[in-house]
Amino acid sequence: MIHMRGVVHHFLRGTVNEVVALAGVNLHVRPQEFVTIIGSNGAGKSTLLRALAGVVMADAGRFTVADTDITCWLEHRRAELISRIDQNPLASTAPQLSIEENMALAFLRGRNRGLGMAVTGKRRDVFRAALSKVALGLEDRLTTKVGTLSGGQRQALALVMAILAEPRVLLLDEHCAALDPKAAAQVMAITEKVVSEQKLTTMMVTHNMEHAIRYGNRLLMMHKGRVVVDVSGPEKTCLTASGLVEKFHILSGEILPDETLLTS
């Protein structure tokens, strides 16, 4: 479903502050695979998702989604196939608009927008049904301005908006980080449910080791712009949080050379 080949990206290129955010990533994600991604701060996780969604145009590398080469597509065109929630809770919703207006914007993701009414009775029913899945009571506050919601509520709304138009690929960047533990568990459960129901191919960045292990069927660890651990299937089910944390520390301290880890 997703092919990334030789993806390289630098920030502030040619200056003394140059950062190699992605140092050559090769990744093939199969249809309906649910990949969790962990890694220390600055490992390049967000940049990887942003490069795939076209928010940043990678310096090098090719991207293919659903057998279509999207390397040269700009972000708004990639939105047809890819839906992404940013790790910043303020980035994925429009504060001055109401909940229903935000939903109406997401309803037509990647499609042409014409002169039909954005919020109709019929669409409102769809919005209400979709919002009731997150059970935060947002379905009863359709005309509330999104700017008045809490960060967690906004992120939950962002999840509903991300899956409303049934994308092929769902990219989640720490979408539960702003939520309290109970809401986070709830939103994760909903994420898992819709991912399997809508047969989405998903990549999810998280700092929560439990989530990384429990959800999904493949786990990647990134370090310094590379994928250094890639486990899936039964091997992933056997991972433990403490084992992962240990790997994490080893990588951060760089006690072992990368080769050792790649074969672990």
Q: Mark the segment that binds Mg ion (CB under 5 A) among 1-9, 39-47, 149-157, 231-239.
A: 39-47
Nearer to other proteins, 154 or 226 (CB): 154
Q: Which residues of 75-90 are buried (b: 16+ CB within 10 A; e: fewer)?
A: eeebbbbbbbbbbebe
Residues 6+ apart with CB under 8 A from 126: 107, 164
Q: Out of 36, 87, 202, 208, point to the residue binding ligand ATP (CB under 6 A).
A: 87
Distance in angstroms (rounded) separating the CA atoms of residues 14 and 256? 30
Least separation in angstroms between residue 94's CB and ligand ATP is 22
Residues 90-119 that bind other proteins (CB under 8 A): 90-97, 101, 104-106, 108-111, 113-119
Q: How far is CA 68 from the centre of its chain?
A: 20
CB-neighbour burial class of residue 58 (10 A; exposed 0-12, middle 13-18, buried 19+) = buried
Which segment (16-24, 33-41, 76-84, 193-201) binds other proteins by CB under 8 A?
Answer: 76-84
- 41 near ligand ATP, judged by CB under 6 A: yes
Nearest distance, CB of residue 21 and ligand ATP, angstroms: 4
11 binds ligand ATP (CB under 6 A): yes
Partners of residue 222 on adjacent β-strands: 39, 227
Q: How far is the CB of 34 from Mg ion (least distance, A)?
A: 19
Binding mask 45-84 for Mg ion (x = CB under 5 A): -x--------------------------------------
Q: Are 90 and 119 in contact (CB under 8 A)?
A: no
Interacting partner of 20 out of ligand ATP, other proteins, Mg ion, none (Cβ under 5 to 8 A depending on kind): none
- The distance from CA 89 to its chain's CA centroid, rounded to whole angstroms, is 12
Q: Return d(Cα 139, Cα 133) in angstroms, integer.
A: 9
| CB-nearest residue to Mg ion | 46
Pick 83 or 201: Cβ nearer other proteins: 83
Residue 10 β-bridge partners: 20
Cβ atoms 44, 225 nearer than 8 A: yes
Give the list of residues 6+ apart from residue 163 with CB closer than 8 angstroms, or none.
83, 130, 170, 194, 198, 200
Report, in Å, the least distance between residue 47 CB and ligand ATP: 3
Closest separation in Å from C-beta 125 to ligand ATP: 37
What number of residues does the chain have? 264
Binding-site ranges for Mg ion (CB under 5 A): 46, 87
Binding-site ranges for ligand ATP (CB under 6 A): 11-12, 19, 21, 39, 41-47, 87
